[in-house]
Structure 1
């Protein structure tokens, strides 16, 4: 998610009116622009690989080591921008055998080459650094390291970086538009502990100095914030779904609980394979890793901290009871493997592409297990966590997320579009094709809009514009006429139009609403009309 966990804040906000993480603002600084914009120092190179080689010292809350960054030069490159939080110390930046000059500005590092690198060449630098990375006060709602202990006093460590930035703990091009094609993590931890990172386990090496190095490798494109370490006294067990390896790393004393709770993964995979397509990172395998914070969608190493409970820490965010039938963190965070990890928003202003679609996967799972009716009821229930006070899409180029409504409003927008399609076979074909077409790509909202718009002859542009770029829901205004019902849309989008299904005298009727008054001939009064609120997320108002 961006930080999935604004969901709990959303729930509280819906009841209290308090502002939540992710609300729009305009007080941007130069630091925001350096982080969020794409300038020649960033667009001039395309990252191919990160190779992290780090030592983690829990007692000192200290990390040290290097990141070898391999890249292709896209344009003549006299200098490049990488990102590393200014509290982290740079030891040196090497290009071949030569140390490079650099300047720091906020969390950006501008590196100067002796001569501009030539377009089309492949090259690399070695970035050596150390320091005490920022500590998360309340992960995963805020970013930073979590230096915790299990109940036996063993170090238990994780990192939450989404939103705050992966550059809080390692140097990288910290922008979602550029993902390395692969990554290698060689992580040294005190002997007796295990480090679990993304991808496949390669080897462990006793360094004979009280530390053991754990090596992992990812062979698929990966978001910067998804590259991860998880350190603890872990027990490991495994399973399979079809040809997909399922690996689980949990605290030793939770092994029996995990074996029972994680059985749900196979039901989830069966559902998601059918509705969304195969797991997009089969070569890297799928893992759940127990963490000292609630959870996060770390690619091929999904963070799990839901205490082996159904729901969201035992709560049902929909208020319907349906959310207590399944483990929210398993389903939501794993759904991100398709939407967020495989399909990624180029700019975090478009994070609804990740969060709205992933929140919708919750209802997909409910529909697979318990039927469409319960899925619709669950989605409607989640609307209580929507404020409709800020637009979903954020501001571009300044590292700004949109409103936290991107989660549940985004999911209900997709359900509304499914209802506009009015053809489930076409809907699921389009949904799977979208997932396949943009697999392992970074995309924009415009890409998503165009794809779903192309499949039907109803123009979805006004719908996307109202739900994503405006705060309020469209209002279906109704008026009683003589032997007829009058209706029109009231919306922020000029000339807004959208079909909507209503029920009159137990018959479902589709009204092709526009911003102009139209009539439907019927002998029934308005008190006999009911909007299909399970399938359309709108506001209704009777006017004189």
Structure 2
């Protein structure tokens, strides 16, 4: 084969003039179940190895000294023994704070030790019985040591337009596991143990406080201090708890449904009006997509950081982003969506962090769609998400990544969400997403649960998608070779230099002098696959792979005047069912001599139809479909493959 190079296209921006076509993806063909990938579990610090209890509520009573950069007070924790009777309670708590005393308000005496770095053990006498609850208090004071360059409690000095500030960030970028609140409240790192929160913070009277939940009251004292009282009535993971204290002005955007208020520096009040202006509309749009906003309040608090953190009910927001324009909308929308995906439903394991961050990054594009329509959504996907997804580290997967905080989890995870939306179609995709939220509300979930929910609406296994995209690495790098003569022959190759190959439905657009044809082919998880248009429409003027930008990919196009597809089937044949006998999944192989719409029907020996599925349109060539007989009984079944004018039948044995 001699090739004549025509043009290399990595990606081009869509014109978006044509209406969106989703019907090509509404009848995609399920893939044979692939062998799961077995990846080694990364060893992580588990300070909760003795965490055999359920924390029900955390109640800090703290006062802040801005001159000495210290805090003092106490935190009470209500917990229940839910696995074994307890003689000891283990918390993570910074060694930089001095513990003054420990007590219990119940019929249990409590003492403590601090064996190990940043470790606190509460000793109980007598043991707390399984099912019983208790309240334990820890009094402490000091200057919390910073745990890394991002997470935990920290102080910020006044400079230029910034006032003095004290605030916490729930996650640490360099911690394993990430939760960082242990440097100011006794806590633990398990994202699945969700807690209620009620807090009292005493600060100078010129300062304002934001924290989790609704503000119940402010209590003035005679020494020019004020106590701010907050309560969060919805359970959240401990890394989502926070406090922010500064000379804030409180900017209210909405009084209810929910309350939206932002804590802004006095020097940025004017800029904040424009900066936050699109938030209420996007919050309402997310509520329409995902279900009602899950908390009683939302807003942002400006903090002196280089990024944001999605604390429950109030995002800690990088202060230099507050400008008199909407250029940071993507960040505002990302963090807003975390109130659903991260706070309402939390990843059940840090290896599944993409369920928080990939979802929220995808919601950046959804925010654009809510405000401006689908064309702006697609523009954001193509110009922001796809380039970052292609540039992500290709040495590890989205699940259990080597780096939690990079483009693999964020942008590539968002691209996975975009592709799933295209595969299922809007109705099924967003219905699945809403149900996923409702079923795990104020709880936690892991990747197999998200996949299972999608499969309920897709109608069959999505293993063919999740295995390469979520558990595998890289993305497909397509090379399409085609001819400019009336044979209209095409070959798609996957050239990515890894063992991961992708099975995907791909839209193809062929422009002829008098016609434009669009059809979908299943590109198998193989290095090369050939097909042709057998209707002899003439010489194609152009060929485009994935014209609607549904797939994270690169694409190269080559012209070959000598290229032909050999051995195109001359007849419609059902070539076999395999394996035979089969256990649950049967692969149905068939040949098509021309492009045809195909339907698969399955009958038992009594002639009763047990399954029927429109498989969609296929080009001329060799193809496979899958029937999942997991719900059927053992026995002999007849498989009937139908086109518009013909049908073929073969039988196979289901043996469980």
TM-score range, shorter chain: 0.7 to 0.9
- Show the counterpart of 2:504: 498
Instruction: Give the direction of change, closer, same or farther, for the CA distance of 1:395–1:100 in structure 2 (3 Å limit).
Output: farther
- Show the counterpart of 2:551: 536
SS at match of 1:274: helix
Distance in 2 between the 1:507 and 1:56 partners? 69
- Show the counterpart of 1:129: 140
Distance in 1 between the 2:470 and 2:118 partners? 31
Distance in 2 between the 1:379 and 1:280 partners? 27
User: Which blocks of at least 5 consecutive residues in structure 1 are unaligned?
Assistant: 1-25, 315-323
**Is residue 2:444 matched to residue 1:442?**
yes
Instruction: Give the direction of change, closer, same or farther, for the CA distance of 1:329–1:476 in structure 2 (3 Å limit).
Output: closer
Counterparts of 1:42-121 in structure 2, within 5 Å, are 42=51, 44-76=52-84, 77-96=86-105, 98-121=109-132
- Contact 2:146/2:183, CA 8 A, preserved across alignment: no
Match of 1:157 among 161, 166, 184: 166
SS at match of 2:157: strand
User: Which blocks of at least 5 consecutive residues in structure 2 are unaligned?
Assistant: 1-39, 564-656
- Show the counterpart of 1:359: 361
Instruction: Give the direction of change, closer, same or farther, for the CA distance of 1:80–1:540 in structure 2 (3 Å limit).
Output: farther
- Structure 1 residue 469: deviation in Å? 2.1
- Contact 1:462/1:493, CA 8 A, preserved across alignment: no
- Show the counterpart of 2:231: 217
- Structure 1 residue 122: deviation in Å? 1.3
Instruction: Give the direction of change, closer, same or farther, for the CA distance of 1:144–1:242 in structure 2 (3 Å limit).
Output: closer
What is the TM-score of this pair, normalised by structure 2?
0.69
- Show the counterpart of 2:471: 469
Distance in 2 between the 1:489 and 1:438 partners? 38
SS at match of 1:360: helix
Distance in 2 between the 1:477 and 1:207 partners? 72
Match of 2:200 among 186, 209, 212: 186
Judge which range, 347-356 or 114-123, deviates more: 114-123
Aligned residues: 495
- Structure 1 residue 360: deviation in Å? 0.9
- Contact 1:420/1:500, CA 8 A, preserved across alignment: no
Judge which range, 287-296 or 229-238, deviates more: 287-296
Distance in 1 between the 2:419 and 2:185 partners? 41
- Structure 1 residue 270: deviation in Å? 2.6
- Show the counterpart of 1:8: none
Distance in 2 between the 1:138 and 1:172 partners? 20
What is the TM-score of this pair, normalised by structure 1?
0.82
Instruction: Give the direction of change, closer, same or farther, for the CA distance of 1:483–1:534 in structure 2 (3 Å limit).
Output: closer
1:152-173 CA distances to partner (integer Å, 9 max, x unpaired)? 7842222223134111221112
- Structure 1 residue 236: deviation in Å? 2.0
Distance in 1 between the 2:545 and 2:157 partners? 53
Distance in 1 between the 2:365 and 2:331 partners? 14
Instruction: Give the direction of change, closer, same or farther, for the CA distance of 1:307–1:192 in structure 2 (3 Å limit).
Output: same
SS at match of 1:453: helix
- Structure 1 residue 74: deviation in Å? 0.6
- Contact 2:331/2:364, CA 8 A, preserved across alignment: no
- Show the counterpart of 1:145: 154
1:430-450 CA distances to partner (integer Å, 9 max, x unpaired)? 233323332211111111121
- Contact 1:392/1:404, CA 8 A, preserved across alignment: no
Distance in 1 between the 2:417 and 2:95 partners? 40
Distance in 1 between the 2:277 and 2:163 partners? 27
Match of 2:243 among 222, 226, 229: 229
Counterparts of 1:258-407 in structure 2, within 5 Å, are 258-281=272-295, 284-293=296-305, 294-307=307-320, 309=322, 327-382=329-384, 383-386=386-389, 387-393=392-398, 395=400, 401=404, 403-407=406-410
Judge which range, 202-211 or 150-159, deviates more: 150-159
SS at match of 1:428: helix
1:62-100 CA distances to partner (integer Å, 9 max, x unpaired)? 122222111121122232221112333323332347342
- Contact 1:434/1:451, CA 8 A, preserved across alignment: yes
Distance in 2 between the 1:379 and 1:101 partners? 53
- Contact 1:58/1:147, CA 8 A, preserved across alignment: no
- Structure 1 residue 468: deviation in Å? 2.1
- Contact 1:157/1:292, CA 8 A, preserved across alignment: no
Distance in 2 between the 1:137 and 1:157 partners? 16
- Contact 2:197/2:233, CA 8 A, preserved across alignment: yes
Instruction: Give the direction of change, closer, same or farther, for the CA distance of 1:309–1:236 in structure 2 (3 Å limit).
Output: closer
Instruction: Give the direction of change, closer, same or farther, for the CA distance of 1:402–1:393 in structure 2 (3 Å limit).
Output: farther
Distance in 1 between the 2:502 and 2:267 partners? 57
Superposition CA RMSD, Å: 3.1
1:445-469 CA distances to partner (integer Å, 9 max, x unpaired)? 1111211122113532232222222
- Show the counterpart of 1:318: none
- Contact 1:258/1:308, CA 8 A, preserved across alignment: no
SS at match of 1:405: coil
**Is residue 2:522 matched to residue 1:520?**
no
- Show the counterpart of 2:635: none
SS at match of 2:396: coil
Distance in 2 between the 1:162 and 1:261 partners? 25
- Structure 1 residue 348: deviation in Å? 1.7
